[in-house]
């Protein structure tokens, strides 16, 4: 059932029979861009977070929350760049390709207001980004359980109320409903931080997250 309180997707632009990005229509249909994937991914991340509370032993739900929350932030950053960056700034941004952390740093450095993306938010996003990679690209080389410099150990140190011992850290131990909530909170903090740097959100609906006071005026 559709939740009437949630925003609906932006309608796809009516581009008729014009090919997009060099792609040709297939079978008479036109390939259309999706203008609001960051919104949709963010909604899905929140849904998975909420669902994980109902099924606390299902680690797929917090794992999915991490994957989709980072995808939401990646989409948001790229959509913001499409709207706001020009010339040299855009070339520098595009050169970073899929490096989300470097893109966040570039936007932070070149914002209208400097230094508003808090360092702990950036560090937490870097750890979540790394965990996303571990979940998506499994490799059979588990981190040494007592090496405090590993990303899992550092993630536990940053994650509040982590139910694990210092000597035994596993990805499975991290994947709890509380961790899912934390992941969504960190991504929300990064999006708010970009707004505080002076970057206007790609669409007005993001104001509910970054500056709800503006909606009341």
Q: Is residue 186 part of a domain?
A: yes
Residue 7 confidence (pLDDT): 47
Residue 74 confidence (pLDDT): 95
The average pLDDT across 61-84 equals: 95
The average pLDDT across 17-31 equals: 50
State the burial class of residue 130 (Cβ atoms within 10 Å of its Cβ: 0-12, 13-18, 19+).
Answer: middle
The 10 Å CB-count burial string (b at 16+, else e) for 64-98 is bbbbbbbbbbbbbbbbbbeebbeeeeeeebeebee
Tell me: pLDDT of 216 over 50.
Answer: yes
Domain extent for 173: 37-215
Q: Is residue 73 part of a domain?
A: yes
- 187-198 pLDDT, tens per residue? 999 999 999 999
How far apart, in whole angstroms, are the C-alpha atoms of residue 212 and residue 20?
A: 35
Q: Is residue 20 part of a domain?
A: no
Band of residue 154 on the pLDDT scale cut at 50, 70, 90: confident
Write the CA distances from 97 to 93, 125, 179, 197, integer angstroms: 7, 17, 28, 22
Q: Is residue 101 part of a domain?
A: yes
Band of residue 136 on the pLDDT scale cut at 50, 70, 90: confident
147 close to 153: Cβ distance less than 8 angstroms: yes
102: Cβ contacts below 8 Å, ≥ 6 apart: 96
- Give 168's strand partners: 165
Band of residue 51 on the pLDDT scale cut at 50, 70, 90: very high
Q: Is residue 151 part of a domain?
A: yes
Residue 16 confidence (pLDDT): 39
Tell me: pLDDT of 33 over 80.
Answer: no
70 close to 132: Cβ distance less than 8 angstroms: yes
Q: Is residue 13 part of a domain?
A: no
Could you give the percent of the chain with pLDDT greater than 90? 45
How far apart, in whole angstroms, are the C-alpha atoms of residue 118 and residue 76?
A: 18
How far apart, in whole angstroms, are the C-alpha atoms of residue 57 and residue 36?
A: 32
Q: Is residue 31 part of a domain?
A: no
Higher model confidence: residue 46 or residue 151? 46
The residue whose two tokens read 């009516």 is 14
* pTM, 2 dp: 0.77
Could you give the percent of the chain with pLDDT greater than 70? 70
Q: Is residue 135 part of a domain?
A: yes
Q: What value does the mean pLDDT of the chain take? A: 79
Residue 94 confidence (pLDDT): 94
How far apart, in whole angstroms, are the C-alpha atoms of residue 103 and residue 123?
A: 14
Higher model confidence: residue 180 or residue 138? 180
H helix and E strand count, the chain:
10, 0
The count of domains in the chain is: 1
Tell me: pLDDT of 92 over 90.
Answer: yes
């Amino acid at each position: 059932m559709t939740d009437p309180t949630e925003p609906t997707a932006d309608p796809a632009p009516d581009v008729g029979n014009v090919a997009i990005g060099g792609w040709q229509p297939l079978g008479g249909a036109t390939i259309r861009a999706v203008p609001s994937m960051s919104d949709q991914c963010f909604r899905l991340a929140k849904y998975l977070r909420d669902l994980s509370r109902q099924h606390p032993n299902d680690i797929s739900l917090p794992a999915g929350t991490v994957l989709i929350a980072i995808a939401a932030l990646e989409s948001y950053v790229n959509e913001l760049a499409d709207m706001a960056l020009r010339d040299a700034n855009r070339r520098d941004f595009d050169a970073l390709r899929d490096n989300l952390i470097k893109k966040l740093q570039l936007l932070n450095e070149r914002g209208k207001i400097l230094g508003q993306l808090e360092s702990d938010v950036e560090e937490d996003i870097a750890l979540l980004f790394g965990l996303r990679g571990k979940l998506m690209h499994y490799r059979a080389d588990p981190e040494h359980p007592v090496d405090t410099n590993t990303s899992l150990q550092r993630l536990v140190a940053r994650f509040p109320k982590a139910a694990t011992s210092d000597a035994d850290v596993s990805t499975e131990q991290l994947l709890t409903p509380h961790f899912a909530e934390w992941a969504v909170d960190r991504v929300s903090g990064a999006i708010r931080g970009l707004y505080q740097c002076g970057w206007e959100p790609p669409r007005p609906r993001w104001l509910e997250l970054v500056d709800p006071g503006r909606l009341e005026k």
